Amino acid sequence: MDKNQIYAALQNVYDPELNRNLVELNMIKDVSIDNGNVEVVVALTTIGCPLKNKMKEDILNEVGKIEGVKSVKVQFGEMSDKEKEALFGKKKNSLNSFENTTILAIGSGKGGVGKSTVTANLAITLANMGYKVGLIDADILGYSIPQIMGIKGVRPVAIGEQAILPIETHGVKIMSMGNLVEEDEALIWRGPVLSGVLEQFMNEVYWGELDFLLLDLPPGTGDIPLSIMQEVKDARFLIVTTPQITAKGVAKRLGIMAQKTNTDIIGVIENMSYFQCDKCGEKHYIFGSGEGEKLSRELDVSFLGEIPLLKEIREGSDKGISPVVDLNSPVGKIYKAIGEKIIEDI
Ligand SMILES: Nc1ncnc2c1ncn2[C@@H]1O[C@H](COP(=O)(O)OP(=O)(O)OP(=O)(O)O)[C@@H](O)[C@H]1O
């Protein structure tokens, strides 16, 4: 048994947050062998890494499999600033390229139409379909993603000055202002500051490889949607509305703003379309019907689907348990069909 075998085994151990193996990440600082007793020294990106026990377990497992190994000891240290810089690049430069990522900015005209709920559920659906998905809560002042995704009070891990790691849940990597500030803290910021925060979320959070990055926008046609249209290259808009005429009217203005800035609109989703009676099965169109589809025709974009008004959806987001985790549930199937249409379109 020699060091090469140990290094080869360590290539099977991954940093769960960075999704690359420890050798490739240059995290193995030393390997020593003394009469079958192996010691591995690992430099973590941050010594408080919450997943170091998992890494230790994987090292013990992989190295322990090698013939002739009697015992394995793992020691943890922390990377130097220079090493972190080599890994994540210098601050200021973006940590991400998004070259192979579809950026979907999800907006609505009016507030309360369920845009954040739709964004969260769509993110989970795409992740369940096998895609690598990130989600930025770009509703920086009115964030609700931590509540919906069940990560209220969870803090993201910072790697020195270099990077922040997104929080991962339901297979989706998430960044929200709600995970950075104290609960109930009122943020009083103007447009340019908000756009700066969004820029940081895109550039200074280490997203790794993503197929989709979903941005949950604040409602309306304010600074954030406008700066995304103007500054985020290749972002596509997805508009969520309800069947109410007032909601559709304001959503149309967002669509026209996108068209004026030459931003692609991938389609319209109508949320809270109908209530299906759980006793007789009849569909009741409480808020009217057909407005989402009408909006898509008026904007000349795809109509992606209707999501019913369901107690489970409201309960799911209030409790932080999404109802679409199971793609075979009735809501899951609707979201999956929407996900497939989006994929077909891109
Ligand atoms: N299809 C649905 N059926 C039942 N309840 C829903 C549905 N979609 C959303 N809701 C509920 O409606 C409320 C508002 O949803 P949400 O916060 O997603 O709206 P929003 O458009 O993002 O609001 P804001 O404009 O404040 O960001 C939440 O309580 C949510 O659980």
Element (H, E) at 255: helix 245-260
Protein residue whose Cα sits closest to atom 11 of ligand 1: 314
- Of 89, 95, 92, 238, which is closest to residue 166 (Cα–Cα)? 95
Which of 149, 274, 278, 317 is the best mutation target for the ligand 1 pocket, counting ligand atoms within 8 Å of the beta carbon and taking the most? 317
> Which ligand 1 atom minimizes the distance to the CA of 311?
4
CB of 269 shorter than 6 A to ligand 1? no
Element (H, E) at 173: strand 172-175
The pLDDT score that the predictor gives to residue 89 is 64
In this predicted structure, the answer to whether residue 192 has a pLDDT above a threshold of 70 is no
Q: Give the residue extent of every domain in the chain.
A: 3-79, 102-345
CB 32 within 8 A of CB 77: no
- Which residues, 6 or more positions from 136, have their beta carbon under 8 angstroms from its beta carbon? 174, 175, 176, 198, 201, 202, 213, 214, 215, 216
CB of 111 shorter than 6 A to ligand 1? yes
CB of 317 shorter than 6 A to ligand 1? yes
CATH class in words for 3-79: alpha beta
CB of 108 shorter than 6 A to ligand 1? yes
Protein residue whose Cα sits closest to atom 23 of ligand 1: 112
> Which ligand 1 atom minimizes the distance to the CA of 111?
25
CB of 271 shorter than 6 A to ligand 1? yes
CB of 139 shorter than 6 A to ligand 1? yes
> Backbone phi, then psi, for 18, in 5-degree steps?
-95, -10
Report ipTM for this prediction.
0.97
CB of 310 shorter than 6 A to ligand 1? yes
pLDDT in tens, 234-293: 899 999 999 988 888 889 989 998 888 889 999 999 999 999 887 887 888 888 888 899
CB of 247 shorter than 6 A to ligand 1? no
Protein residue whose Cα sits closest to atom 25 of ligand 1: 111
**Domain 102-345: CATH superfamily, name plus number:** P-loop containing nucleotide triphosphate hydrolases (3.40.50.300)
> Which ligand 1 atom minimizes the distance to the CA of 273?
1
pLDDT in tens, 49-107: 777 888 999 999 999 999 999 999 999 988 887 787 777 765 455 778 888 999 999 99
